[in-house]
Amino acid sequence: MKGTIFVELLNMAEDAFGEDVVDMVLDKVNLENDGAFTSVGNYPCSDLVRIVTAFSEHSGISAEALQRKFGHWMMDHFSENYGEFFVGKENSFSLLEAIDGEIHVDVKKLYPDAELPVFETERLADKQLKLTYSSPRPLVEFCHGMVEACLDRYDEQAQIERGPATGRSNATEFDIRLNT
């Protein structure tokens, strides 16, 4: 995984818990790099999971809830630092539909070695979108948080249901239905 994800996770943790707690938690995780991440580096997803688990144990907040919060955090990070990804996207569905065909294409130009998840979308109705998230990484809750943050960004309310994608391993389907 790209280091920018790790850097932002630690920024979120510092914002929530303070720098001293972040240092203490990273010491307990006992990572090979001692928790020194650079935004352009590549690191194993297992380290990210270990860090989230350690913050969960420290805070009493479930790892799933922390991943969702991190999804919200990253949406803010992306909008602040990559505003061009949002140009011309007038609602949450248009942004979600642009992830693979536009946004990830640009990400690959910036980071050719990035291993990105796959986002397939299908518009089932004007107010219903099926999003299939495929990734070998255990970050479905993070993805769910990003979807929620996307809806928040456009001041939209929706019901989100999810389940395993039929006949596909490492894939989750999100059924997103906008409230009228």
Cα gap 51→62, rounded to integer Å: 13
Cα gap 85→96, rounded to integer Å: 11
DSSP E strands: which ranges in the chain?
Answer: 118-125, 128-134, 158-164, 171-178
Cα gap 134→117, rounded to integer Å: 6
Cα gap 153→160, rounded to integer Å: 16
Q: Look at residue 166 and tell me whether its pLDDT is greater than 90.
A: no
Structure confidence by residue, pLDDT tens digits, 44-86: 999 999 999 999 999 999 999 999 999 999 999 999 998 999 9
Number of Cβ atoms within 10 Å of the Cβ of 12: 20
Q: Where are the alpha helices (DSSP H) in 60-127?
A: 63-81, 92-97, 104-110
DSSP-derived pairing of the beta strands 128-134 and 158-164:
unpaired
137 three-class SS: coil
Q: What is the pTM of this model?
A: 0.93
Share of the chain above pLDDT 70, in %: 100
Considering only CA atoms, give the Rg of the chain. 17
Residue with tokens 């990734």: 135
Structure confidence by residue, pLDDT tens digits, 98-121: 999 999 998 889 888 888 999 999
